[in-house]
Amino acid sequence: MKNKLKALKILVFILIVVTLSFRGWSSSRDIEKRSFVLTQGVDTAPDNTFSVTYSLANPQALGNEEGGGSKGKESAIIYKTRCRNLWQGHHFIQARTEHPLFLGHVQTLVLGEELARQGIGRVVDVFMRAAETRLKTWLVVAEGEAGKILEVAPKPEKLAPLYIGRALEMEDYLNVIPLLRVAEFGIRLRNPGEHPVAPMVKAGDDELALTGLALFKDDKMVGKLNHEEMHYFFLTVAGKGHMFKRVETSAGDTFSYEISNVKRRVRLHRTGDQVSFSVLLAVEGNIVEAVTERSLRDMEFLASVEQVITEALAKDCRALLTKIQTEFQVDSFGFGAMVRGRYPKLWAQLDWDQDFPTVPIKITLDATIRRLGMVSE
């Protein structure tokens, strides 16, 4: 009797497990029966609509002939549609594809400049709300239309939609820009005292280029920095923005200085209800090009070159700060978050968006030459 009961228990347990498992498998889908969206582009369109572009991977075109690839096929297939909301666009494109669209591999979300200026809160909300999307997706703003960016097939990349993401990862690797993913954008959008930024890209005939940085106030783009200004921005805000700086001394000697390390220190000062900031940047770098008759082994001359570099970098950083404070009037630096963190009661009294343009911010920069390359002078 006891054995029969045990056998019955096992049988019932197996039956339940098998029955439930059948339902549990309903989410499974073979990898070749999915359509992988690699890049999403969103633009504004007339009549308050969106123009949505998807770049889908075409795995058949990726292999060589021996490997089973289909010669002549594009590695990515572009789908474009107009819609009233983003999910409607998704379903319109879904209706034109063989397999279910999968957003789990989206590398880059490209937004048109016009849309960015109108506000991208809706787009970011959709992206953050969906569980399937990658939070590590890059968010970039296109100079012009986002759809054009997706249509470009850069020569070096076999799978074109991966190009932007990889190029931006390379920029992060080279310490030019920090990781600017969609999650970070969404987070900055919601947190007091922070405003998001996004890299800007431009499409050529068969190439894409990182052209600068879009600055946002809340979810609306309010200004853009060119490539050089972007370097100074990240130098000031994140200790990144490593770059080359060409300087010329009063005697006509020219040098190219490559920034290799930045130590950044921001101090917040308070006098009554007034706050001010001092930003100290200790920049280290190497001389990578020198056009001079004098030797850099001469310590006095070396110090004078360092001084020239310091003045040039500081001037450009200050010019950038003035531009952001007075022209765009947006605290993309995140100084507001510092005030909120340090003086929460004062923060509650401030209208930071109004106050930021007039807040005194002092930038002090000290450039040091560390190495001269493989040449000794």
Partner 1 sequence: MKTNRKPVTPYQAIAIVVNTIISGRLLILPRELCTEVGNGSWLMIVVSALVALVIISLYTAVGRRFSDSSLPQYTVKTLGVFGGSMLALLFGASWLIMASLSARIFSAVIITAILPRVPLEVGILVMLLLGAHLATKNIATIARVHELLLPLVVGAIFLLVVPSLSRVSLWRLLPLIEPGSLKKLGTGILVGSSSFLGLEIVSLFMPCYGRPELAGRSHKLGILIVAAVALLTVEGCIGVLGTGTLARTQWPTLTLVRMISFHGIFERLEAPFLAMYVIVVFTTIGSMLFGVVAILAQLFKIKSQAIWPYLLVIPAYYLAVGPPNVIAVEKAGQIFAYFRLGLVVFTPLIVLLVAIIRGKEDRPDEKQAEGS
Q: How far is the CB of 355 from partner 1 (least distance, A)?
A: 18
| Window contacting partner 1 (CB under 8 A); options: 5-13, 217-225, 294-302, 319-327 | 5-13
The torsion defined by the Cα of 3, 6, 12 and 15, in degrees rounded to 10, comes to: -80
Asked if 174 interacts with partner 1 (CB under 8 A), we say: no
How many binding residues for partner 1 (CB under 8 A)? Answer: 33
What residues from 182 to 241 belong to the interface with partner 1 (CB under 8 A)?
183, 186-187, 189-194
What is the C-alpha separation between 302 and 249, in angstroms, rounded? 11
Asked if 20 interacts with partner 1 (CB under 8 A), we say: yes
Among 16, 174, 251, 319, binds partner 1 (CB under 8 A): 16
What is the C-alpha separation between 130 and 114, in angstroms, rounded? 24
Among 119, 144, 154, 334, binds partner 1 (CB under 8 A): 334
Among 46, 67, 272, 344, binds partner 1 (CB under 8 A): 344
Asked if 10 interacts with partner 1 (CB under 8 A), we say: no
Strand 254-271 and strand 244-248: the pairing is antiparallel
Q: Of 82, 19, 21, which is closest to residue 51 (Cα–Cα)? A: 82
Q: How far is the CB of 218 from partner 1 (least distance, A)?
A: 12
The CA–CA distances, whole Å, from 27 to 24, 256, 267 equal: 7, 57, 52
Among 134, 217, 294, 323, binds partner 1 (CB under 8 A): 134
Among 26, 64, 354, 376, binds partner 1 (CB under 8 A): 26
Note whether 124 and 182 are within 8 A (CB): yes
One-letter amino acid at 351 equals D
One-letter amino acid at 315 equals K
What is the C-alpha separation between 167 and 161, in angstroms, rounded? 11
Q: How far is the CB of 134 from partner 1 (least distance, A)?
A: 7
Q: How far is the CB of 301 from partner 1 (least distance, A)?
A: 41
Note whether 249 and 305 are within 8 A (CB): yes
Note whether 109 and 182 are within 8 A (CB): yes
Token couple for 114: 């016009």
What residues from 270 to 329 belong to the interface with partner 1 (CB under 8 A)?
none
| Window contacting partner 1 (CB under 8 A); options: 106-114, 224-232, 334-342, 358-366 | 334-342
Q: Which residues contact 93 (CB under 8 A, 6 or more apart)?
A: 52, 54, 79, 81, 101
User: Is the CB of 23 or the CB of 71 nearer to partner 1?
Assistant: 23
Asked if 135 interacts with partner 1 (CB under 8 A), we say: yes
Among 63, 68, 104, 204, binds partner 1 (CB under 8 A): 104
Asked if 166 interacts with partner 1 (CB under 8 A), we say: no
Q: Which residues pair with 256 in a beta bridge?
A: 246, 289
Which of the 8 DSSP states describes residue 252?
Answer: S
Q: How far is the CB of 18 from partner 1 (least distance, A)?
A: 12
User: Is the CB of 191 or the CB of 249 nearer to partner 1?
Assistant: 191
Q: How far is the CB of 166 from partner 1 (least distance, A)?
A: 14
Q: Of 291, 299, 277, 297, which is closest to residue 356 (Cα–Cα)? A: 277
Strand 244-248 and strand 220-226: the pairing is unpaired
Note whether 94 and 88 are within 8 A (CB): no
Asked if 168 interacts with partner 1 (CB under 8 A), we say: no
Query: Directed axis angle between helix 86-94 and helix 121-129, to 10°?
Result: 60
User: Is the CB of 194 or the CB of 306 nearer to partner 1?
Assistant: 194
Asked if 15 interacts with partner 1 (CB under 8 A), we say: no
Q: How far is the CB of 339 from partner 1 (least distance, A)?
A: 9
Asked if 348 interacts with partner 1 (CB under 8 A), we say: yes
User: Is the CB of 240 or the CB of 318 nearer to partner 1?
Assistant: 240
- State the residues that interact with partner 1 by CB under 8 A: 5, 9, 13, 16, 20, 23-24, 26-27, 104, 131-132, 134-136, 183, 186-187, 189-194, 334, 337-338, 340-342, 344-345, 348
